Structure 1
Amino acid sequence: FYAKKHKVTWTGLGDGLCVVAPLGLLFGRAANFINGELYGRVANGVAWAVKFPLSLMEEPPEVQSAAWQECTRIEPSLGDAQSVDHLIAAARENPEVSKALGEFLQPRHPSQIYEGLLEGLALFLILYIVRVRFRNAPDGLLTGLFFLFYPIFRIFGEQFREPDAEMIGMFTKGQFFSFFMFAFSAAFLAHAWRGWKKRQTA
């Protein structure tokens, strides 16, 4: 409706949306990092590795039990807690609980930051530069580039992320479904190519 009202092609409208979409992905990944969710795989020896309280659930039962006991010793009210959320809340409020919990956690890749920089910042810069440098680019080009680079960055970034669902063969679900986006990329790039050829022959 918007495209028809403002006499813009639907692919041209899509191009405009795809340029700014990576910024939303960037802020989303930043929120994931702040909330300590969608954390990365274990990264021993990595200087910038981070310990995420929620990753306690990835540890063996005996480690989880020991962590609960130690934290409960410091904060007795945790004895009545029913979920790890209570433990995390206590760790945020009590530095001693936070320190004790950290002893049972493994350092992990801050994969949210990796993905934010790739899927968000890098992708935005690529699309923005193309839009500015090639103002007469055919409609569909930017959308095609979005669907080309996003899965590339996602597949790469997922190597550092702790899988949050069952694997599909050797791939995480995020990697597996990203492959289908290449088909969308090919379709939009083909559309852009046809548009460019029409201009050349007009």
Structure 2
Amino acid sequence: MPPLLALPFPSIDPVALAIGPITVKWYALAYIAGLIGGWWYARRLVMADRLWGVVKRPSVTDIDDLVVWVALGVVLGGRIGYVLFYNLPLYIADPIEIFAIRNGGMSFHGGFLGAILAFLLFARSRGLNGYTLLDIGAVVVPIGLFFGRIANFVNGELWGRVAPDFPYAIVFPSGGPVPRHPSQLYEAGTEGFLLFIVMALAVNRFGFRRPGLLGGIFVLGYAVARTACEFFREPDRQLGYLFGEHLGPLGGGVTMGMLLCVPMALVGLTYIVLAARGWTRPRHPIEENAVGERAVEA
């Protein structure tokens, strides 16, 4: 029986669709929704003339092709990041488990680095400004973050710290009989919804005329939001708290998620300053493509 000050975990089957031996989980649908939503939004952004000025923009066809590169970067980077950052001893002892993705284990920070590499390699292959592609990604990626965290909640994973006096705490099936913060929803609201609004306002205000600025705002914003949510999120069991056992309003200490956000925040601040001073702009900006060319591509 759950404690008095707790809500029961909603009974949601993690399998969204099953056809014979084929199953589709909500987590897979979250990835698909994030990619499709980001692809659609990115197409709208590259067609908005007022956002670009004289900075060369990718074409709509470039955005269509970029989705495949980014999907591979996120999946491969997310898995490699989890192996390296969160459970390296396990995978050293049993390397074949690295390929057992069905057992779970993805890292946002690893997926983030994989996506950055995909953006830069794609930009190089198409003769585009890498900063500009990263800026587009910064505006659209909160869509994927929102759906991903909702999927974490549906799966009953990555739950929060014990919260015996919080009226909206939830007893998660895999989290023991104690009420916990629904930290997945906190992350969906901050890293997803709130950061989406911040980036939408930023792109409306600055456009893509200062390459690297939007990317810097996103990286800094994510680092702040993730660090705040880490105070409510239960640390990974195999790592626990890295140090400082009594920090924050809920106790606990520094987690791996917090630690990985420190370089993110520094990089974000650096690129905001560089972009604001114009140091990331090409020396010889290329005029934007003709409206007629974009209409044909669309």
Q: TM-score, normalized by length of structure 2? A: 0.47
Q: Which residue of 2 aligns with 1:10?
A: 130
Structure 2 CA distance, aligned partners of 1:18 and 1:130? 11
- Partner SS for 2:165: coil
Q: How does 1:7-156 map to 2 (within 5 A)?
A: 8-56=128-176, 105-135=177-207, 137-156=209-228
Answering whether residue 169 of structure 2 is matched by residue 169 of structure 1, we say: no
- Partner SS for 2:168: coil
CA-to-partner distance for each residue in 1:90-120, whole Å, 9 max, x for gaps? Answer: xxxxxxxxxxxxxxx1111000000111111
Cα RMSD of the aligned pairs, angstroms, is 2.2
Shift of 1:130: 0.8
Between the two proteins, what is the percent identity of the paired residues? 40
Structure with the larger strand share:
2
Structure 1 CA distance, aligned partners of 2:232 and 2:148? 17
Shift of 1:17: 0.6
| Equivalent residues of 1:38, 1:112 under 8 A apart | yes
Shift of 1:5: 6.4
Shift of 1:188: 1.4
Q: Which residue of 2 aligns with 1:191?
A: 274
Q: Which residue of 1 aligns with 2:74?
A: none
- Partner SS for 1:180: helix
**Which stretch shifts more, 118-127 or 135-144?**
135-144
Partner AA of 2:196 in structure 1: F
- Partner SS for 1:119: helix
| Equivalent residues of 1:131, 1:137 under 8 A apart | no
| Equivalent residues of 1:147, 1:182 under 8 A apart | yes
- Partner SS for 1:40: coil
The 1:50/1:2 distance shift into structure 2, 3 A limit, reads same
Shift of 1:134: 2.3
| Equivalent residues of 2:170, 2:179 under 8 A apart | yes
Shift of 1:7: 5.3
**Which stretch shifts more, 122-131 or 134-143?**
134-143
| Equivalent residues of 1:26, 1:119 under 8 A apart | yes
Shift of 1:43: 1.0
Q: Which residue of 1 aligns with 2:75?
A: none
Shift of 1:137: 4.1
The 1:134/1:116 distance shift into structure 2, 3 A limit, reads same
The 1:47/1:147 distance shift into structure 2, 3 A limit, reads same
Q: Which has the higher contact order (CA 8 A, sep 6+)?
A: 1
Shift of 1:6: 5.7
Partner AA of 1:118 in structure 2: T
Aligned residue-pair number:
152
Q: TM-score, normalized by length of structure 1? A: 0.68
| Equivalent residues of 1:51, 1:108 under 8 A apart | yes
- Partner SS for 1:139: coil
Q: Which residue of 1 aligns with 2:262?
A: 179
- List gaps (5 residues or longer) in structure 2: 1-120, 245-253, 283-298
The 1:135/1:198 distance shift into structure 2, 3 A limit, reads closer
Structure 1 CA distance, aligned partners of 2:124 and 2:235? 42
The 1:136/1:181 distance shift into structure 2, 3 A limit, reads closer
